[in-house]
Structure 1
């Protein structure tokens, strides 16, 4: 299951572009851009991309259990694993690794 999730995350992430932003996301990003806050622009775009990839994965893997809190997704079959879907940045790996140090899960990154 993890390999399937990883392949889908890679495929879906390649489809991402500014055209996928919601109007609200676009407005917030444009405001940050107008203020010259380029770090915020990059951060907000990354968050929007992550939400979009997560939504697409959830729609493709409806047989899995998707959570609002804790580990993102659980394979409900006996012996099924837990997975965390995240952008593949060093910072994001570190944050998730520390925040969820008591859980055993596979990182699905894009």
Structure 2
């Protein structure tokens, strides 16, 4: 399951682009840029990309139990846990700290 999830995440991430941003996300990014907060604009875009990716994966992998908190998905047949990560240093550090007691497979995109 993990390999299938990783392959799908990679495929979906390649299709993502700024055209996928919702209006509210576009407004927030423009506002951050107008205030000179390029780092915030990049963060908001990465977060939007992650939400998009998770939304598509949820529709494709309905056999997984998707969670609003904690690990993103659990395979009810095996108990394996999966976490979707952008793969940036800050994202990996955040998840590593927040979920230090969890054993999960990282699905990076």
TM-score (normalised: structure 2) = 0.95
Superposition pairs of residues 32-51 of structure 1, within 5 angstroms: 32-51=32-51
* Per-residue CA distance 1:52-95 (angstroms, 9 max, x = gap): 11111111101110000111000011x33100011011211111
Q: Which 10-residue stretch deviates more, 90-99 or 67-76?
A: 90-99
Q: Which residue of 2 aligns with 1:84?
A: 83
Structure 1 unaligned spans of 5+: none
Using the alignment, how far apart are the partners of 1:36 and 1:101 within structure 2?
Answer: 34
TM-score (normalised: structure 1) = 0.94
Using the alignment, how far apart are the partners of 2:72 and 2:41 within structure 1?
Answer: 25
- The runs of 4+ residues in structure 1 deviating greater than 6 Å are none
Q: Which residue of 2 aligns with 1:31?
A: 31
Q: Which residue of 2 aligns with 1:95?
A: 94
Query: RMSD of the alignment, in Å?
Result: 0.9
For this pair of structures, how many residues does the alignment match? 109
